[in-house]
Structures are given as C-alpha cells and as structure tokens.
Amino acid sequence: MFFRRYLIPRFIQYILVIFFGITAVFIIPRLLPNDPVMRTIGELRARGATLEPGAMDKIITDLTQMYGLEGSWFDQYIAFWQRLARGDLGVSFFQFPTPVSTLILTALPWTVGLLLTTTILAWIIGNVLGAFAGYYAGSRWSQALDGVAMVIRPMPYYIFAFALLLLFAYAVRWFPVSGGAKLGMQPGWNWAFIQSVLWHSFLPALSIAILGMAVWFQTMKLVVQSVVGESYVQYARLSGVTERKIVSRYVFRNALLPQITGLALSLGLIFSGALITEIVFSYPGLGTLLYRAIINGDYNLIMGITIFSIFAITTAVLIVDLIYPLFDPRIRYS
C-alpha cells in the first residue's frame, strides 16, 4: 500500500521535477534571439579576457556542442541530455580547460562542510534555548530572548557576515577574515590542516548560525508554549506524572517533530547555501565559485552549478520525505 500509493507517485514527481528543471536550464539561454555562442564570445572579448592560443577555437566548438547548436531544437535537446548522462557539464571558459564538474567537486566539500555543521549546530542550540524559553514563557529572560530573536529573524543572512567582517577585520583581529585555510597549505587529513580549516571557518559559520538559531528558537518556543497548554499535558500532570517526565516525554518529544521536518528541509538547501557569506569571507565553496562565474561571465559554469543543484536538492528532499515516517509514527502515507 505504502509502496503503491506513496512511493511510486513520489518517485515519479522526483523524476519529473529534475526533467522540467533541467529542461528550463536548456531553454533559458535559447529564449533570446541572438546566437548564444557568439554572444558569449563577444562578452569574453569585451572583458578583454586573455586566453591561451587555440583556446578560442576550442571554446567555439565546445560551446556549439554544449549548447548543441547543430540540428533542430529537438536534436539539440537530445544531445544535451546525452552529455549530462555522461556526467559531462562542459568546460569552464574562465579557467579553461578545467571541466565544470571538477570545479564543482573541488568546491563542494567546503560548502557542505560549512553549512552542514552550522545548520546542525544552530538547530541544536536554537531548539534547546527555544524549548526552555517556551517552558518558562513567563520569565523575564525568556521574553528578552524572544525580543532579540524578533530583531534578528527578519535580517537577511548576509547582514551578519558584513557586521562580523567589519568587527573582526578592523576592531579586533582574533579570527582570520578570508579564505578556507592558511594559504599554501596542502589539503589532507592531518591535524594542522583541520585546525586551520576550523579556525578559518569560524566567522562564516558564526554569521550563518546566528540567524539559524533565531529561526529555530522562535518556532520551538511557540510550539512548546502551545504543547504545554494541551489537555493531555494537563491530564498527565493531574494524574501525578512527574514534571521531569512530562517535559521530556510529552512536551519536548511532541514539539520536536515539526522541527525535524524543518531541519530536513533546510538540509536540502545546503547546496545553494549562503552565497554571499562565502563571498564576503572569500570562502572557497560553491558560493564563491558561482560569484566568480558571474563576474567573469562564465555561463557554462553557472549552468553546471544550477544543474548540479537541481539534482542535489531534489534528491535531498526526496530522501528526507522517505525517512520522515521513521520520526513520526502517525504518518503512514496512506
């Protein structure tokens, strides 16, 4: 039942979303009347890009192939998918001739590492604070925290990046303000490198986590407040269940469910993460890669990142949807 009524439609949807998303990426550059290859070449020339000899010819053939400009739109479309099926996203114009997939795979661990840890840390801290603030909703510190969250919450995430940068670059120099690790250091699984990475990621991580904590804090506080008022909690209290048991078994467990959904959804967003934070701190992740692609007009690279993100995000959300019943026994996908 679960299999036929839920799993199969969900899987069909997954395939369709990827299909339509990538089709959109195929169509967008073709919406404009002029030849995308010549436009790109023109843009490269206008920027005064200096290319290796012979690179231009290779770029033109590569572009013609990548955009699949031989034959009708239909032929082009088939060729586009064939290339994707081989995992071939073309080459970067700017860092010619590095394949786009190599660039993405180099930047990916940085972004995933940064956002995975900050998302989970912010989730834990925000929820713990929110749970206590919701349980002691009347107290003064709870209301003070709520007021702080009300101000932090509406801010765009990059405001904190700018603020921390100004503070730590000019006022106090406790932490490095740019890069992912010490310059010239060889990546590897040794303590010196890991230490350097953690040290460098402190400010970007903090700037992302501040906002995340405020968001989790607010929702957790609201949910705990409303669960405390539920009749089953009052019933448990009247039947003499100890307060400690009420809090751990009844209140927090019920309040945690919607938070797990939220965590799952925000994990899906990790891949397109905190673009501007990375730019502000010159952190070597996907965001900085995208930024460089934008300022250099590297359309191929942007297309590659978009296609990759479509795959990554839809897959992450699919996995989340499938494991969700493990957390909430009430959901049986009927």
Partner 1 sequence: MKVFRDLLRDYRFFWGFWILVMMLVFAGLSYFSPYDPTLWGEVPRDMRPSAEHWLGTDSNGQDIFWMATFAVRNSLTIALIAGLVSRVIAVTVGMVAGYLGGKSDRVLMFVSDSLLVIPLFLMIVLLAMLIRNSMNVVSLGLLLAIFGWAWDARLIRSQILSLRERDFTKTAVLSGTGTLRLVINEYMPYSTPLIFSTLINNMAWAIGLEITLAILGLLDLSIPTLGTMLYWAINYQAVLLGRWWWVLTPITLSILLFIALYWLSVSISEYLDPRRRVQRVGAA
> Which residue, 185 or 317, has its beta carbon nearer to partner 1?
317
Q: Which tokens is 114 given?
A: 């940064």
Residue 40 CB, nearest approach to partner 1 (Å)? 10
CB count in 10 Å sphere of residue 281: 30
Backbone torsions φ then ψ of 91, nearest 5 degrees = -110, 155
> Which residue, 98 or 226, has its beta carbon nearer to partner 1?
226
> Which residue, 227 or 305, has its beta carbon nearer to partner 1?
305
Among 129, 145, 236, 275, binds partner 1 (CB under 8 A): 275
> Which residue, 32 or 183, has its beta carbon nearer to partner 1?
32
Q: Which tokens is 124 given?
A: 């834990």
- Under a CB-based contact definition with an 8 Å cutoff, are residues 63 and 97 in contact? no
Backbone torsions φ then ψ of 263, nearest 5 degrees = -60, -45
3-state helix, strand, coil in the chain (%, to 5): 75, 0, 25
Backbone torsions φ then ψ of 99, nearest 5 degrees = -65, 145
Residue of 248, 21, 19 lying closest to 131 (CA atoms)? 248
Residue 186 CB, nearest approach to partner 1 (Å)? 31
- Under a CB-based contact definition with an 8 Å cutoff, are residues 134 and 222 in contact? yes
Residue numbers 117-176 binding partner 1 by CB under 8 A: 150-151, 153-156, 158-159, 162, 166
| 296 to 315: interface string for partner 1, x by CB under 8 A | -x-x--xx-xx--xx--xx-
Among 8, 15, 16, 124, binds partner 1 (CB under 8 A): 16
111 binds partner 1 (CB under 8 A): no
How far from 64 is each of 60, 85, 204, CA to CA, in Å?
A: 6, 18, 39
CB count in 10 Å sphere of residue 286: 29
| 230 to 269: interface string for partner 1, x by CB under 8 A | --------------------------------------x-
Residue 154 CB, nearest approach to partner 1 (Å)? 3
Residue 210 CB, nearest approach to partner 1 (Å)? 14
The helix/strand/coil state of 332 is: coil
Residue of 46, 58, 225, 50 lying closest to 132 (CA atoms)? 225
Among 17, 55, 112, 128, binds partner 1 (CB under 8 A): 17
> Which residue, 25 or 79, has its beta carbon nearer to partner 1?
25
Residue 32 CB, nearest approach to partner 1 (Å)? 6
DSSP 138: T
Q: Which residues bind partner 1 (CB under 8 A)?
A: 13, 16-17, 20-21, 24-25, 28-29, 31-32, 150-151, 153-156, 158-159, 162, 166, 268, 271-272, 275-276, 290-291, 294-295, 297, 299, 302-303, 305-306, 309-310, 313-314, 317
